[in-house]
Chain A
Amino acid sequence: MTQLEELVRQSEVKPATPPSPPPDEDIDDIPLYAARRKIYPQSVHGTFRRIRWAVLLVTLGIYYFLPFVRWDRGPNAPSQAVLIDFPNRRFYFFFIELWPQEIYYLTGLLVLAAIGLFLMNALAGRVWCGYLCPQTVWTDLYMAIERFTEGDRREHMKREAAKWTLETYARKGAKHFLWLMVAWWTGGAWVLYFADAPTLVKELATGEAPFVAYAWIGILTVTTYALAGHLREQVCLYMCPWPRIQAALTDEYALNVTYRYDRGEPRMSAKKAEQAKAHGEPAGDCVDCLQCVHVCPTGIDIRQGSQLGCIQCGLCIDACNNIMAKLGRPRNLIAYDTDLNIKARQEGRKPSYNLVRPRTLLYAAIIAIAGGIMLYTLATRGSEGISVIHDRNPMFVRLSDGSLRNGYTIRIVNKQLKSRDFIVAVDGLPSSLVDFVGLPPRADGRQLVSVGPDQTKEVRILVTDYNETAPAASTTVLFSLIDADTGAVAQVRDHFFGPERR
């Protein structure tokens, strides 16, 4: 056996209980389309449940209330902390204001989000799916409402199986009403990010809000109600691309919610286990109580190993730990672990946890570098800018006395929330005169360009070189934008063209 084959053999992980193929007679009856199996997730208490409650409260709290947070920016800007102002093309985030041309910060955020997702995945599998994904968070809330109105798993199933009474209908009606309220509020909060929240709330209540606001509330009400209330795990199983991508990105060291079959198998009831042990036969810790399956929001059996349907929320860990505690057996029969460690334990080796490894270090480094670049550019960006477009036709103009003239359209950006006066200087020509079209000089003779608060101004300027020896070919010229009060400078290079081609 070669070394490579040995490595491959070692890394192979075999499930302790290979799933039994369906009997032959059933195979031909596999339908083209599968009917949905309804899931009644059972409530559970424990560490991971508490983590999920905390994440739910924090994330939904931020989502629903953030638009109401105020942030004073002075008279020339909105006072909403987080605002996507489409009509004025601005994005406000507390002390940060972004213009559309700074969209690259969004690219940076997307890079951070993607690598952050990869890092989570390399450390502990589908952390995103289990705790942070909006689909998960809202579904979790909707399931809590379902348990509140229709009762926990057993009660819910029992009532649904029995003849439906008025109470059944009342409970179901209450559930759907609460679901729709949450969905409606979800859509309502969404639109508040795009307009002044208190004003819009008032307008919505009095029917004066723009149609598009009501339309978006309607759309998000429908999607939230359908996705979190009805489609739930179907989104993860059939619609979402991340489980597929995640499966290709993961490696053998990533911690996953794992059933430790080395300890659990062979599974049998507590009573049988005692008998087996008395006879010196092996008996696992799993008592096949199915609690891990009953609490699962996607309805899978974690004991079949890591699988696409598992969002790794950890609720089965809580469920199993509760049972183990009652039986007086050690906790963590299901835990965040790796298949490699299970194999190591089976072979009497020590399990190892490899959280710091080249992959995680690389992801962390990319996050640090990308985040660092973003922070640096954000901290050092200027609040003024100039861009220049040289006339395309004509490239230059010969005047009657022989001098040359070039025309430019310049756009001056003032990102400060107050009006500012700018000087525009053009350097690089032997002797030049700059004419600002339609912009007379001030009374004191200074040629200033005034730009309003948080605005841009387009100015057409004509640069004439009077020198008899004016450069015949293209010459580089430097446009400097200087704040007349503070002296802050922004510069850009362009060209002055003459009749000769280089």
Chain B
Amino acid sequence: MAEEHKHVDALTGTATTGHEWDGLRELNTPLPRWWLWLFYLTIVWAIGYWIVYPAWPLISNSTQGLFGYHSRNAVVEDLNALHAQRGPMMAKLAAVSTAEILADPQLLDFARAQGRVAFADNCAPCHGAGGGGAKGYPNLNDDDWLWGGKIGDIEQTIRFGARAGSDKGRQGNMPPFTGVLKPAEISNVADYVRSLSGLTTEPGADLAAGKKVFADNCAVCHGDNAKGNRELGSANLTDRIWLYGSDKATIVEGIEKGHGGVMPNWEGRLSEPVIKSLAVYVYSFGGGEK
């Protein structure tokens, strides 16, 4: 090594490290000593860390550290602080009715903000992120409601669900007509139903026969004018909105097999303020009725 150090750079007068790469040499400029001390200081700092924070893995646990810090406890503390901060507003939400929430701009803002999060957590898997719905899952933005679009109706549907086993929930379903109606009758009534909202019918379809089948079998729930009945959750068949689809094959399938989608009941699973917030949030999608 000593021999290698003998080279001194002519321009700077500084010794080189002794290494050479294709004629390039590296000047040996010593680091300042305080730099070294800083390095030692970081080591001391690290030891301090070991002492005050959890650090060393043990067989079933780890060293706990003098500060008693635990990342899970820190999260719990943060959540408690958050709940404490929201506490007064949550208490207000629990105390008033959803109609009163709609009338109070401050409560409405809070409820909608909370409803947005709760909707994403609980409702979006079926109804879509913005309540846009999907085949068999109602679009919550439009003005067509199976069980009613007033704030109280929406709240009740969320609270007790539909066909989810709750006594207070929405009952009633579309029964299957296979075996009850002949295939030709089903085809005719499907064409008739399509004609109600101005959709094209198949050439040769017997609409008069379809109308008779409808009056005998369907009108009891869907009504003589086919506009549906919210008491029973039967769909309005004259509008432009189709829960399962408007093509004939889908309608025929629905008549043959029936429908009975389930909306879970959320009472007991979500807290009172959250259910109210959800109702208000869904109401404000734009379809809410006065």
Contacts and interface: CB of A to CB of B under 8 A. Distances in A.
A98 interface: no
Interface in B98-144: 102, 105, 108, 128-133, 139, 141-144
A33 B240 contact: no
B66 to A, nearest CB: 22
A241 interface: no
Interface size class of A (residues with CB under 8 A): 35 or more
Contacts of B213: none
A402 B240 contact: yes
A21 B10 contact: yes
Given A21-B8, A399-B142, A393 B129 contact: yes
A401 B287 CA distance: 13
Interface string A387-402: 0000111110111111
B12 A397 contact: no
B82 interface: no
Interface in A387-442: 391-395, 397-402, 405, 407, 435, 437-438
Contacts of A400: 142-144, 236, 239-241
Contacts of B141: 394, 397, 405, 407
Interface in A438-477: 438, 460, 462
A248 interface: no
A251 to B, nearest CB: 19
Interface string A17-30: 01111101001101
Contacts of A231: 34
B24 interface: no
B112 to A, nearest CB: 8
B30 interface: yes
A34 interface: yes
B245 interface: no
A31 interface: yes
A35 interface: yes
Interface string A24-49: 10011011111110000000000000
A401 B239 contact: yes
Nearest to A34: B30
Contacts of A398: 142, 240-241
A437 B102 CA distance: 11
Interface string A151-186: 000000000000000000000000000000000000
Contacts of A402: 240
Interface string B256-290: 00000000000000000000000000001111000
B32 interface: yes
B2 interface: yes
Main secondary structure of the interface of B (DSSP, over half): loop
B31 interface: yes
B31 A21 contact: no
Given A30-B28, A33-B32, A19 B12 contact: yes
A392 B130 CA distance: 7
B286 A405 contact: yes
Nearest to A27: B15
B35 interface: yes
A487 to B, nearest CB: 28
A19 B13 contact: yes
Nearest to A403: B240
A275 interface: no
Given A27-B5, A400-B142, A400-B236, A438 B284 contact: yes
B46 interface: no
B6 interface: yes
B41 to A, nearest CB: 13
Given A30-B15, A462-B286, A393 B32 contact: no
Given A401-B240, A437-B284, A28 B142 contact: no
A36 B13 contact: no
B236 A438 contact: no
B36 interface: yes
A460 B105 CA distance: 13
A238 interface: yes
Given A22-B13, A27-B5, A462-B286, A394 B130 contact: yes
A438 B111 CA distance: 13
Interface in B30-47: 30-36
The listed residue with most B CB atoms (<10 A of its CB), out of A21, A35, A395, A397, is A397
B15 A22 contact: yes
Nearest to A18: B10
A11 interface: no
Contacts of B236: 400
Task: Give chain A's interface secondary structure class.
Answer: loop
Contact of B286 (A22, A32, A401, A407): A407
Contact of B30 (A32, A394, A405): A32
Given A391-B130, A401-B240, A36 B34 contact: yes
- Which residue, of A237, A394, A395, A437, has the highest number of chain B Cβ atoms within 10 A? A394
Contacts of A401: 239-240
Contact of B32 (A238, A391, A392): A238
Nearest to A464: B286
Contacts of B36: 33
B33 A22 contact: no
Contacts of A31: 30
Question: Which of B8, B128, B131, B284: most chain A Cβ within 10 A?
Answer: B8
A408 to B, nearest CB: 11
Contacts of A22: 8, 13, 15
Contact of B129 (A28, A392, A435): A392
A34 B33 contact: yes
Nearest to B286: A462
A394 B284 contact: no
A234 interface: yes
A28 B239 contact: no
A399 B28 CA distance: 79
Given A398-B142, A438-B105, A28 B8 contact: no
Contacts of B286: 397, 405, 407, 435, 437, 462
B32 to A, nearest CB: 6
Interface of A: 18-22, 24, 27-28, 30-36, 231, 234, 237-238, 391-395, 397-402, 405, 407, 435, 437-438, 460, 462
Query: A-B pairs with the 6 shortest C-beta distances?
Result: A394-B132, A393-B130, A400-B239, A19-B13, A34-B30, A21-B8
20 contacts: A21-B13, A22-B8, A27-B8, A28-B5, A32-B30, A33-B30, A33-B33, A36-B32, A234-B34, A238-B32, A394-B131, A397-B132, A397-B286, A398-B240, A399-B144, A399-B240, A399-B241, A437-B284, A438-B105, A438-B108
Interface of B: 2, 5-6, 8-13, 15, 28, 30-36, 102, 105, 108, 128-133, 139, 141-144, 236, 239-241, 284-287
Given A27-B15, A30-B30, A400-B143, 13 more contacts: A20-B13, A21-B8, A21-B10, A33-B36, A36-B33, A393-B129, A394-B133, A398-B241, A400-B144, A400-B239, A402-B240, A407-B130, A438-B105
